Amino acid sequence: MKVKELIASQKATFLLGLLGLYLVSAGTSWAVFSLLKGGSGESSPIMDTSELESARSKITELPKTEKCPINGKLFTKPEKTIWEGRRPITVMIENHVDSRPPEGLSKADVVYEAVAEGGITRFLGVFYCGVAGTEVEVAPVRSVRVYFIDWASEYGEYPIFMHVGGANDFGGFGDTVKEARALELLATIGWRVPKGNDFDTIYDSGVPVFRRNPGRLKSVGKEDIAVEHTMVANLDRAYEEAEKRGYGAKGSEGDSWDKSFISWTFSNEKPLSSPKVSEISFEFWSNKPEYEVKWTYNKDNNSYLRFNGEVKHTDLAFENTQITSKNVVIVFLTERGPVDRNKHMLYTTTGEGKALIYQNGDEVEATWKKKSRTDRTRFYDAKGKEINFVEGEIWIEAVPKGNKVNVK
């Protein structure tokens, strides 16, 4: 090699080295900048365990400036960066009196409650922003009913849907009427396919996403509980599995989970100087007092505290703190059932009906409307204007039409 060629080669190598060093440095700087900035509008890849720990370690030091698209609550920029790499998870959670207290329910952005069977209610928790900042396990996970699928369908075309089996006509004996067959519905809408967005323990999901914990209630004096009250779901592990299946923030074809998602509208807290309603109570079925619900208004923090059967409804996973919500929504639905030998119920979730909304110490008479399974349930006041929710948790109570709501 000639001298001039050697010098040119050495210069090229040096310049390439500088370029590589710059790119590495710039990439690192951009990663840190993106974490603190909270994303650039593009969906981020899901974080691995070490990245999650790093991001979460910064949360307590930062202001809450980022609005959750699910319930309007404010979070930090690192939390936003985490949720932008994911899509909503919806989980079926039981409320049988022997299974209480639940775990992780207080971290849901939105919760739906309705009777599953025999006057016993069940929850659908929607988890997205509230679980970005910490590892959350949810329990006890139980089986699904068709009307809960209708509500889960409002959170993108393919939300992660977690449950343990569901209503279906096993064996073809006709024990469950067709319109109540939840597993058939999941297959029909394309969720229940191998490695799909339907995470079911009796289908294709197991450890480490799900696990049994027979001793989950020992700390509250319940030594022996039925096995159906023991299923635990780890949401961080669920998000890792979802990414592997092609259900991260974007699907396998590059479509963002929220391309068809319609967010509700939100407003800042404006508590009344003198609350109009300080207590809300109602029943689902008259012969099931242990499932009666009471919400009491706490003026100091403008939130509602939940009671089940006159007992504080707490979250075992978070130091048995009482469950609260910024918004309590009661929707009145047409109830049918039991419709078969398995005593399944049906509730009409589409169309329109009456609703009562409690926020800021006030009561608002409203109308709910939902055109189809995938359409968003919207709420309107007497003048036909869509109602803003207070930024924060939203609980939707699906009460049979005609039931009385007592307020004080």
Tally the C-alpha atoms within 13 A of residue 216's C-alpha that lie toward its C-beta: 28
Q: Name residue, tokens 């930090």.
A: 76
- Separation CA 361–CA 390 (nearest Å): 11
Residues 6 or more apart from 224 whose CB is under 8 A from it? none
- Separation CA 135–CA 297 (nearest Å): 29
Closest among 271, 264, 276 to 303, alpha carbons compared: 271
Question: What's the pLDDT score for residue 30?
Answer: 35
Question: What's the pLDDT score for residue 40?
Answer: 38
> ∠ at Cα 402 (396, 403), nearest 5°?
60
Question: What's the pLDDT score for residue 43?
Answer: 52
Question: What's the pLDDT score for residue 303?
Answer: 98
Contact indicator for 180, 346 with CB cutoff of 8 Å: yes
Q: Which phi and psi (to 5°) does residue 250 adopt?
A: -115, 150
* Averaged pLDDT, groups of 10, the chain, 408 residues long: 41 40 36 38 70 87 96 97 98 98 98 97 98 97 98 98 94 87 98 97 97 97 96 98 97 94 97 98 97 98 97 97 98 96 95 98 98 98 97 98 98
| Strand 378-380 versus strand 389-390 pairing type | unpaired
Question: What's the pLDDT score for residue 149?
Answer: 98
Count other Cβ atoms within 10 Å, centred on residue 67.
Answer: 16
Residues 6 or more apart from 27 whose CB is under 8 A from it? none
**Strand positions, DSSP E, 95-172:** 110-117, 120-127, 137-138, 160-163
- Separation CA 184–CA 392 (nearest Å): 34
C-alpha torsion angle, residues 312, 111, 398, 176 (rounded to 10): -110
- Separation CA 368–CA 374 (nearest Å): 15
- For residue 146, give both structure tokens: 């068709």
Question: What's the pLDDT score for residue 403?
Answer: 98
- Separation CA 10–CA 4 (nearest Å): 10
Count other Cβ atoms within 10 Å, centred on residue 291.
Answer: 20
Closest among 168, 85, 103, 154 to 126, alpha carbons compared: 154
- Separation CA 256–CA 219 (nearest Å): 42
DSSP symbols for 266-287: EE-----SS-S-SEEEE-SSTT
Question: What's the pLDDT score for residue 269?
Answer: 96
- Positive/negative CA dihedral, 369, 375, 377, 381: negative
Q: Is the pTM of this model over 0.75?
A: yes
- Separation CA 338–CA 328 (nearest Å): 27
Cα Rg for the chain, rounded, in angstroms?
A: 24
Which 3 state secondary structure label does DSSP give 374?
A: coil
- Separation CA 107–CA 110 (nearest Å): 9
